[in-house]
Amino acid sequence: MADTVKLPEDSFKPMTPAERQALDSEKIAAPSLTFRQDAWRRLKKNKGAWVSLIVLGIIFIMAFGSLVVSPHNPNAVNPSYANLPSKIPGVGINGFNGTLVQAGQRVDAYKQAGASAGTYYIMGTDYLGRDLFSRVLYGTRISLIIALVATLFDLTIGVTYGMISGWKGGRVDTIMQRIIEIILSIPNLVVIVLLILILKPGMTSIIIAIALTSWVNMARLVRAQTLELKEQEFILAARTLGESSMKISFKHLLPNLSSVIIINTMFTIPNAIFFEATLSYIGIGISSPQASLGTLLNDGQKNFQFLPYQMWWPALILSIIMLAFNLLGDGLRDAFDPRTKE
């Protein structure tokens, strides 16, 4: 049979450069992408998530940048400039030009307070004459720090717990799941409040309280995913080769869990911000002169009827942050798991 195959002589000639180019232009394969690159591309296509990412970036830079440059000292009290409305240079719209309605007439509050023509408070001032813009930046920073640190702890606890529970299985898993069920049957806020009572109100205790209560969701998701991964061949291979459980969990499980973890983190952060705001709003969170978005809302709400801007600004920023994290979380979920979107 072998002698029947006759290849023409010219099959063995090297290609001319022109021929080679013609072949290359026929190529239609895209450069191969890793899973993460692929997800990143999908994320960039999602307008809502992309805008959220930029907005969050700006908020982060402004909140933490205000440590270095802040328009005013957020704690500097100036009673003569108390309760000044918002005034933005060059903007003539009522509500942003430093005027207020008093007894049915619109008056220039800045003139009344005897402020010089060059005095501007972008978001106005609060009842002690503190610059609201600086306070909001400061409050945002505290809220973000609390949320991020709490999320970091909650991530560590949740991922470890979920991985152990899923990996060990059997009785360990049953007991660990029972514990989770018990925690889930007490409303989160009640537990947080009890913990704060014990730890004394303050930033650290809020962080601990939020972290100790919100890991449950993460643990459940990670456990479910671990149970699935555990049965797969590459884990079996690693076990057969004699890798320790510790090494398998770091080298094989964790990278495969990363998308679940990242997505859930994006929903944990706004939750933590929300809990912090609620606690400070009730009056057992951050105490003055420290400020968070919750305390600012609480302060603003007292005067809402007459000075609505004092609540509008923190409410706006809080809602924008929550919105951005939620949209980003949605976007990440679609990016990591394209099946969820048709």
Partner 1 sequence: MAKYLAKRIFYLILTLFIVITVTFFLMKLLPGTPLTNQAKLSKSQIALIYKQYGLDKPVWQQYVLYLAGAVKGNFGTSFQFSDQPVSYLISSRIEPSLQIGLQAIIVGVIVGIIIGAFGAMKQNSWVDTSATVVSILGISIPSFVLAVLLQYYLGLKLGWFPIAEWGGFSYTVLPTLALAAAPLAESARFVRTEMVDVLSSDYIELAKAKGLSRMGVIYHHALRNSLIPLITIVGPLAVNIMTGSMVVENIFSIPGIGEQFVKSVLTNDYPTIMGLTIVYSFMLCVVLLITDILYGIVDPRIRITGKAN
Rule CB under 8 A: which residues touch partner 1? 178, 181-182, 184-190, 193-194, 197-198, 270, 274, 277-278, 281-284, 297, 301, 304-305, 308, 311, 315, 318-319, 322-323, 326-327, 330, 340, 342
- Name residue, tokens 């059997």: 170
Comparing CB distances to partner 1, the nearer of 96 and 281 is 281
Comparing CB distances to partner 1, the nearer of 45 and 178 is 178
The answer to whether 151 touches 107, Cβ cutoff 8 Å, is no
Shortest reach from residue 170's CB to partner 1, in Å: 16
Comparing CB distances to partner 1, the nearer of 229 and 296 is 296
- Name residue, tokens 């992408």: 33
Comparing CB distances to partner 1, the nearer of 181 and 228 is 181
Sign, CA torsion 274/280/285/286: positive
Shortest reach from residue 278's CB to partner 1, in Å: 6
**C-alpha span between 115 and 113 (Å, rounded):** 6
Comparing CB distances to partner 1, the nearer of 111 and 178 is 178
Residue 179 exposure: Cα atoms within 13 Å on the Cβ side: 13
Shortest reach from residue 304's CB to partner 1, in Å: 6
Instruction: Give the DSSP per-residue string, 186-246.
Output: S-HHHHHHHHHHHH-SSHHHHHHHHHHHHHHHHHHHHHHHHHHHHTSHHHHHHHHTT--HH
Shortest reach from residue 33's CB to partner 1, in Å: 26
Comparing CB distances to partner 1, the nearer of 145 and 323 is 323
**C-alpha span between 56 and 32 (Å, rounded):** 31
Shortest reach from residue 32's CB to partner 1, in Å: 30
Enter the DSSP assignment of 14: P
**C-alpha span between 271 and 147 (Å, rounded):** 8
**C-alpha span between 118 and 113 (Å, rounded):** 13
Shortest reach from residue 250's CB to partner 1, in Å: 32
Burial environment of residue 100 by CB neighbours within 10 A (0 to 12, 13 to 18, 19 or more): buried
Comparing CB distances to partner 1, the nearer of 219 and 248 is 219
Shortest reach from residue 186's CB to partner 1, in Å: 5
